[in-house]
Amino acid sequence: MRMRSILVGALLIALITNPLDAHGGQYKGPADAGGPSSSGGGGNAPPTNPGGAAAPGPGAPSRPGVATAGNTGNYGRGQGRGGSDRGKSVTGSGFEAGTSYEVWEFWWENNKDRYLDLKERLIKTSNVSGSLGVLTGRGRKTDASTSRRPSLEMINSEVIPVLRGMLKGEDDRDIIDSSVLALGRVTREDNAKDVIKDALPLLKHNELSVQTSTTLALGVLASPEAEGYLRELLADSSEGRNLIGGGEVPWLVRAFAALSIGLVGSTEAAPTLIDVIENLSDADKDIKVCAIVGLSLLKENGVDEAIAFLTKKLGDRKMDVTIKSYIPTSLGKLGRLEAVDPLLKTFLDRDSNNLVRQSAAIALGRLSTIDEEKVIEALSDYVKEGKDMQTRHFAFISLAKIGARDDEPQSRAETHEEMLSLFTREISKPDRQTNRSWAGIAAAIYGRAHADAQPEIIDRLKAAYEKEKDPSFKASFAVSLGLLNAQSEAPMIYDDFQESKDYDFKGYAAVALGFLKHIDAAEALRSRIKDKTTTPTFRLQCATGLGLMGDEQAIDVLIDTLQAAETLGVSSAVAKALGLIGDRNAIGPLNQLAENKSKSELTRAFAAVALGIVGEKTDLPWNATISEDNNYRARVPAIDEVLDIL
């Protein structure tokens, strides 16, 4: 099941006209309490989530699910991903005036999972039952005896039986599609055959949301046993049509099959996906894009083949620019240095479309080393002189990532001094006002890796924070201070959290307080979660702050809230929060909710969603690798859908 984000105030985004709802909802971008204020900031609120891990604020849409009739793959449904609970429904195509992707919040919501990494923080804590504790830090600890993450035995004995039972004993589409995807998330290879056996009949279901969830579940399961079925679905073969019960395989199922083949990553994955990219027309945009993204998910098998193919296609000037814009980021995620030169060439090419150049900027930040002087120069020059605002902003982040990866900064002192000077100068005296929030986040990313630079960065961020009036900029500086663990600044941020009436700022301040382990704020955050008037986005951000603090009481508060939830937005926010925190103590109450037929189907479905996230076999959400370092300016419906999944 899936739901949509809302935007700040009455700002509405028109996506595309026809409805396509789906399984689960993900908060992935500024929204009711997560976006910038209408007063200015980094610009107005961005258009809804392009991606899971972007919409921190659900609206109040009707029941989730995928439309099965007349589906064209377009979005809408009144208060869908671009709708607002404070305004009118959304129709039309294109974006309304005043909306902008350029705000920092949009990038953060797509990339935050790795920085939050709440489940990793549960490996070992100093908490005792009922107390507020201090998390041990970023590294995985060898002593897992105190871990609050669920064990494999707990997943196999308590979670999987409940989810399989919900598949077999329920008719509600929301419960079914939530449960099947949750099974894919929690099940290891030893039990994969049982899940495949349970899942395959669901491909014939008359609801598209169940078909697409099942297709994704087969990929998230990551079992080679599933790939043959996925290839048939992607090819729309006679066997694929038989799998869905007859008729053409829906385009969204085919697109998700391409992604799932990449997630499985067998020896046949690369040639299968390359064949699709080569031979389908650009009119099949979603399928081709998902095949390109599928290549980026490969870990070992076919990586060389994928890089050679994508590098060649990077020079194809006839390819649709939206499709082509996924090639640089896919090359970046494949992680091979040989892609740096062609990516730099694309970045510097005056004829490159802005979407493609933006993606090249992202990819260079992911791949390049600080020894690549031409890359550093190109990105720095674009920050200073480039015309496309989004490319400039992505260049900030890429420079920070390149600098952060250098583990011998003393041998390249001049380059580091220039990089640090760029970040700190643009925080306080920017060439362009919109640079400030991006420079702050970039400085924090850079500073996390270089302790010697932290005092200067923290001083500059603190000064900027104290003077700042705009809530969007102020929120970026708060989060940046949080990322740098500037604990001495926590009381100041907490005072502003309590006094501010701007919920856009307050939400990110809650996250910052979590990073800073400011346990004095815990009770205030819990009270916000309990308050029925709290918006879903703000509730999620408060819960995230509590999770970062290691607050064990947060689980009980969230379970009680989920039990009493009456709206899709609240249910989704709480399910996401429970999953992000990942505490094994949530499993028992969630199982009870999931199996309690006196509860609403919606509540039970979101309990299944939460079980899948809590028990996920990977540290980060399965779609985080797609969301992270993706160019969310290049919109296609299928990727929007994947990144909108809780």
Q: Where are the alpha helices (DSSP H) in 280-325?
A: 285-296, 303-314, 321-324
Indicate if the pLDDT at residue 16 is higher than 60.
no
Indicate if the pLDDT at residue 134 is higher than 70.
no
Non-local CB neighbours of 61 within 8 Å, separated by 6+ positions: 3, 4, 21, 77, 78, 79, 80, 83, 568
401-430 burial: b if 16+ Cβ within 10 Å, else e: bbbbebeebeebeebbeebbebbbebbeee
CA nearest to 462, candidates 494, 439, 440, 445: 440
Rg for the chain, CA atoms, rounded: 23
Indicate if the pLDDT at residue 75 is higher than 80.
no
C-alpha 460: how far from chain center = 29
The answer to whether 167 and 594 are in contact (CB under 8 A) is no
* pLDDT score for 539: 93
Instruction: Locate the domains of the chain by residue range.
Output: 1-105+621-646
Using the 8-state DSSP alphabet, how is residue 482 labeled?
H
* pLDDT score for 11: 24
Helices vs strands, H then E, count in the chain: 33, 0
* pLDDT score for 123: 58
Whole-prediction pTM value? 0.85
What mean pLDDT comes out for the span 50-78? 29
Mapped onto helix, strand or coil, the DSSP state of residue 135 is strand
- Confidence class of residue 55 from pLDDT cuts 50, 70 and 90? very low
* pLDDT score for 47: 35
* 64 vs 473: which has the higher pLDDT: 473
Indicate if the pLDDT at residue 488 is higher than 50.
yes
The answer to whether 185 and 24 are in contact (CB under 8 A) is no
pLDDT digits (tens, 9 = 90+) for 360-409: 999 999 999 999 999 999 999 999 999 999 999 999 999 999 999 999 99
Tokens 């107390």 sit at which residue?
131
Non-local CB neighbours of 586 within 8 Å, separated by 6+ positions: 555, 558, 559, 578, 610, 614
Q: What is the mean pLDDT of the chain?
A: 83
- Confidence class of residue 567 from pLDDT cuts 50, 70 and 90? confident
* pLDDT score for 147: 66
* 88 vs 124: which has the higher pLDDT: 124
* 20 vs 106: which has the higher pLDDT: 106
Non-local CB neighbours of 93 within 8 Å, separated by 6+ positions: 14, 15, 16, 17
Indicate if the pLDDT at residue 37 is higher than 70.
no
Instruction: Classify the C-alpha dihedral 646-518-461-139 as positive or negative.
Output: negative
- Confidence class of residue 52 from pLDDT cuts 50, 70 and 90? very low
- Confidence class of residue 633 from pLDDT cuts 50, 70 and 90? very high
Mapped onto helix, strand or coil, the DSSP state of residue 217 is helix
Rounded distance between C-alpha atoms, residue 234 and residue 238, angstroms = 11
Lowest mean pLDDT, pick from 141-145, 259-263, 287-291: 141-145
* pLDDT score for 387: 94
Distances from the Cα of 481 to the Cα of 250, 306, 310, 428, 488, angstroms: 47, 39, 38, 15, 10
Rounded distance between C-alpha atoms, residue 401 and residue 115, angstroms = 13
**Quick one: tokens of 184?**
């894919």
Render 329-382 in DSSP notation, one character per residue.
Answer: HHHHHHT-GGGHHHHHHHHH-TTS-HHHHHHHHHHHHHH--TT-HHHHHHHHHH
Indicate if the pLDDT at residue 316 is higher than 50.
yes
Indicate if the pLDDT at residue 24 is higher than 70.
no
Indicate if the pLDDT at residue 623 is higher than 60.
yes
Rounded distance between C-alpha atoms, residue 134 and residue 548, angstroms = 9
**Measured between alpha carbons, how far apart are the two ends of the chain, in Å?**
8
pLDDT digits (tens, 9 = 90+) for 427-481: 999 989 999 999 999 999 999 999 999 999 999 999 999 999 999 999 999 999 9
pLDDT digits (tens, 9 = 90+) for 92-130: 222 222 347 789 999 999 999 999 987 777 654 434 333
* pLDDT score for 187: 97
- Confidence class of residue 45 from pLDDT cuts 50, 70 and 90? very low
Mapped onto helix, strand or coil, the DSSP state of residue 560 is helix
* pLDDT score for 138: 29
pLDDT digits (tens, 9 = 90+) for 145-194: 456 889 999 999 999 999 999 998 889 999 999 999 999 999 999 999 99
pLDDT digits (tens, 9 = 90+) for 327-354: 999 999 999 999 999 999 999 999 999 9
The percentage of residues in the chain with a pLDDT greater than 90, rounded to a whole number, is 72
pLDDT digits (tens, 9 = 90+) for 265-284: 999 999 999 999 999 999 99
* 565 vs 610: which has the higher pLDDT: 610
pLDDT digits (tens, 9 = 90+) for 222-244: 999 999 999 999 999 999 999 99
